[in-house]
Amino acid sequence: MTARKKIIAANWKMNLAHQDVKSYADVLRVEVGVVNEIEIVLIPPFTAIPALAEALGNNSFARLGAQNMHWEKSGAFTGEISAAMLQALSVNYVVLGHSERRAQFGETDEIVNRKIKAALSSGLQPIFCVGETLTERDGKRVEEVLKRQIQEGLKEVSPRHFPDLVVAYEPLWAIGTGRTATPEQAQRTHAFIRSVVALVSDHSTAEQVRIQYGGSVKPENAEELLRQPDIDGALVGGASLDARSFAQIIRRAVAV
Ligand code: PEP
């Protein structure tokens, strides 16, 4: 099996502004030091990206992500940001299809698919979010929903781009609720997701794709989740807002 480097990402959502990033980066640097075993990604609001890039400096211990982008290169799209604009700020990753964007901003599988293709062809690595609602889980529709999101989201994505892809499994009932999928539950679903990725690519490609778990990950539950063979990292919301708590999650990931 291909060794997949774990990826721990901090999704700050609409929290922490440019004036907060220097102290955050300083605390994280001291608490974590240089880590080669795993990849760390910080995903601030757009306006904090330049200040964070500066605070991290060259040869940084963490990489930069953005929370969204538009699929077009430029044009009359008021309020939107393109892949090239993100790249110009040294951004490597972009979160696409987050459930908050799907539920509150009307993003469909088709829109997510356009964004994924645009990100990949511009050299950005998508963190492609999928996940079911509680109603879908109770209705035993988890596999059907995930299969649709993955097949539609990755439609016409070139196989050569798959290794750049990160999938984040985020059950909606676990986001910001304090409820987490059990490690066994999450492992089963991650294995299923990998099997669907294999359907739209092939087995050995799917083995290279990293699949993060997201949903109330915190220092207390990170290690058990990250020990599962198909859980290749975490997308952390609430617990990433405090640099010390995010650092603890990173340390747990390194220890696994
Ligand atoms: C998220 O929304 O990506 C997330 C995982 O949030 P939280 O960790 O707060 O549940």
- Please, are residues 131 and 170 in contact by the beta-carbon 8 Å criterion? yes
181: CA distance to ligand 1 center in Å? Answer: 13
pLDDT band, residue 176 (cuts 50/70/90): confident
pLDDT in the model for residue 251: 96
- Please, are residues 192 and 213 in contact by the beta-carbon 8 Å criterion? no
Cα–Cα distance for residue pair 81/83, rounded to 1 Å: 7
Atom number of ligand 1 nearest to Cα 174: 10
Average pLDDT, the chain: 96
Cα–Cα distance for residue pair 26/34, rounded to 1 Å: 13
Whether 98 is a known active-site residue: answer yes
Per residue in 191-227, pLDDT (tens digit) is 999 999 999 999 999 999 999 999 999 999 999 999 9
238: CA distance to ligand 1 center in Å? Answer: 6
Ligand 1: which residue has its CA nearest to atom 6? 237
Cα–Cα distance for residue pair 63/161, rounded to 1 Å: 19
Could you give the angle at the alpha carbon of 112 between the alpha carbons of 150 and 222, nearest 5°? 60
180: CA distance to ligand 1 center in Å? Answer: 10
Burial class (CB in 10 A: 0-12, 13-18, 19+), 237: buried
Residues with CB under 6 A from ligand 1: 11, 170, 175-176, 214-217, 235-239
Ligand 1: which residue has its CA nearest to atom 4? 237
- Please, are residues 180 and 174 in contact by the beta-carbon 8 Å criterion? yes
Atom number of ligand 1 nearest to Cα 129: 3
Cα–Cα distance for residue pair 245/157, rounded to 1 Å: 36
Per residue in 82-132, pLDDT (tens digit) is 999 999 999 999 999 999 999 999 999 999 999 999 999 999 999 999 999
Cα–Cα distance for residue pair 33/134, rounded to 1 Å: 39
Whether 161 is a known active-site residue: answer no
